[in-house]
């Protein structure tokens, strides 16, 4: 290891301390981005063009102190989120565009909830490590799904965050989940039905059921307004508890469901799909498949696993762990297709044994 700053500079590599510090203060960046996004700054700059903070506050009603907001926008500009000039005028960039509500690839809601309720839950990570218990109840007063039920805005924002996080996996599902000839499919815990709607667009003879928590159903139905009439006639939102039973169908799709739950719940849920399945159908789980122990790849999937640890009694799983779940519930894995995204998302396809 280099002993002096000069030796470090001569090696041309950042010192280890700088690398670790950058990782550690990554939380400052995500918090700052989330806070200015919650103030709608990316939307306002997109709509009205470059502005200083006084104008953002006085003309567009941003609820902030000018000097403090300027410091937050300057920090964001330093990592490319906004432009900044010598007069303290900030403008939009391609990065701020994805933080707007009008971007077709918007991650605005994801960014907003990430810095808000999700951040509170993450503060319980030391306790999760110590006790082995999820921390939503300790930090929010109830488990995360009950918190969503008790806070309709959180439920809507969470659903929107999931939708914005689904673009890649929906593309993957359309490419690799072959539903030719299938008449009925259930999207278990399908949120607002974003995946089902795209499958119905592709398969014109398919009928899709989105099974969801009853409180989410009216929000999902409202959001269908304006959708193609043919799609509306082939989609059904069913309120219920997936651990009690699932509607009958040839195919079950569970996207980002299994990783929320412990093995007992997952085996029960897959078992429900098995017993309601019409004929020799298939189950498609879309979730991370972690590399085996000893392979240090898959960083984001492994941090997503920590997210599951703090929020839910869930986890990300290796191929071997997926096999145990499927086999115990009466399914055999017939293919695992990686979607090659940062989160290690794959489609795990199973058939009845
Ligand atoms: C991580 S989200 C995934 C949403 C969607 N499948 C996606 O990938 O965008 C988990 C979903 O499971 C739903 N959910 C949680 N518990 C449920 C239950 N017991 N029965 C039915 N749905 C449930 C939640 O409302 C939420 O929409």
Q: How far apart are alpha carbons 162 and 148 in whole angstroms?
A: 13
* Per-residue model confidence (pLDDT) at position 167: 82
246 CA distance to ligand 1 middle (Å): 13
Q: What is the pLDDT of residue 3?
A: 66
Atom of ligand 1 nearest to the CA of 169: 8
Query: What class does CATH assign to 5-103?
Result: mainly alpha
Q: How far is the CA of 212 from the centre of ligand 1 (A)?
A: 6
Rg (CA), the chain: 23
Domain with CATH 3.40.50.150 in the chain: 166-352
268 backbone dihedrals φ, ψ, rounded to 5°: -60, -45
Residues carrying CATH 1.10.10.10, the chain? 5-103
CA of 157 relative to ligand 1 center, distance in Å: 13
Mean per-residue pLDDT pooled into runs of 10, the chain (353 residues): 66 84 94 98 98 98 98 98 98 98 92 93 97 96 95 93 88 95 97 96 98 95 93 98 98 98 98 96 97 96 97 96 98 96 92 95
| Cβ atoms of 47 and 83 closer than 8 Å | no
The angle at the Cα of 152, spanning 96 to 147, to the nearest 5 degrees, equals 100
Q: Buried b vs exposed e over 230-255: b needs ≥16 C-beta within 10 Å?
A: ebeebbebeeeebeeebeebbbbbbb
Cβ neighbours for 151, distance < 8 A, ≥ 6 positions apart: none
SS3 2: coil
Check residue 340 and give its pLDDT.
86
Place of tokens 């990554």: 26
* 243 pocket-lining for ligand 1 (C-beta < 6 Å): yes
Kindly provide the residue ranges of all beta strands, DSSP E only, lying in 72-226, ordered along the sequence.
83-84, 90-91, 184-188, 207-212
The answer, as to whether pTM is greater than 0.75, is yes
Q: What CATH superfamily is the domain 166-352?
A: Vaccinia Virus protein VP39 (3.40.50.150)
**Ligand 1: distance of its center to the CA of 260 in Å?**
9
Q: Which of 150, 170, 189, 240 to mutate to test the pocket of ligand 1 (most atoms within 8 A of CB)?
A: 189
Per-residue model confidence (pLDDT) at position 198: 97
């Amino acid at each position: 290891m280099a002993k002096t700053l000069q030796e470090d500079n001569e090696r041309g590599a950042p010192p280890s301390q700088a690398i670790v510090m950058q990782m550690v203060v990554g939380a400052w960046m995500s918090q700052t981005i989330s806070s200015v996004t919650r103030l709608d700054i990316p939307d306002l700059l997109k709509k009205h063009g470059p502005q200083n903070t006084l104008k953002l506050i006085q003309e567009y009603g941003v609820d902030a102190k000018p000097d403090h907001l300027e410091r937050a926008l300057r920090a964001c500009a330093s990592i490319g989120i906004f432009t900044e000039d010598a007069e303290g005028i900030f403008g939009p960039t391609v990065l701020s565009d994805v933080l707007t509500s009008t971007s077709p690839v918007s991650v605005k809601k994801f960014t907003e909830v990430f810095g808000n309720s999700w951040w509170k839950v993450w503060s319980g990570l030391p306790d999760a490590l110590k006790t082995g218990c999820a921390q939503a109840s300790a930090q929010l007063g109830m488990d995360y799904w009950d918190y969503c039920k008790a806070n309709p805005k959180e439920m809507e924002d969470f659903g929107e965050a999931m939708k914005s996080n689904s673009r890649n996996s929906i593309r993957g599902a359309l490419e690799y989940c072959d539903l030719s000839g299938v008449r009925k499919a259930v999207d278990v815990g399908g949120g607002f039905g974003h995946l089902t709607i795209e499958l119905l667009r592709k398969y014109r003879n398919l009928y899709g059921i989105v099974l969801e928590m009853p409180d989410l159903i009216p929000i999902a139905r409202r959001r269908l307004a304006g959708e193609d009439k043919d799609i509306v006639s082939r989609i059904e939102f069913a309120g219920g508890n997936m651990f009690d039973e699932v509607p009958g169908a040839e195919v079950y799709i569970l996207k980002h469901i299994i990783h929320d739950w412990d093995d007992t719940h997952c085996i029960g849920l897959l078992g429900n799909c098995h017993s309601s399945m019409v004929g020799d159908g298939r189950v498609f789980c879309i979730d991370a498949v972690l590399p085996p122990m000893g392979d240090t790849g898959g960083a984001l999937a492994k941090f997503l696993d920590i997210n599951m640890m703090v929020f839910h009694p869930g986890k990300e799983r290796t191929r071997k762990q997926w096999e145990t779940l499927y086999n115990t519930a009466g399914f055999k894995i017939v293919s695992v297709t990686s979607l090659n995204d940062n989160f290690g998302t794959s489609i795990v396809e199973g058939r009845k044994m």
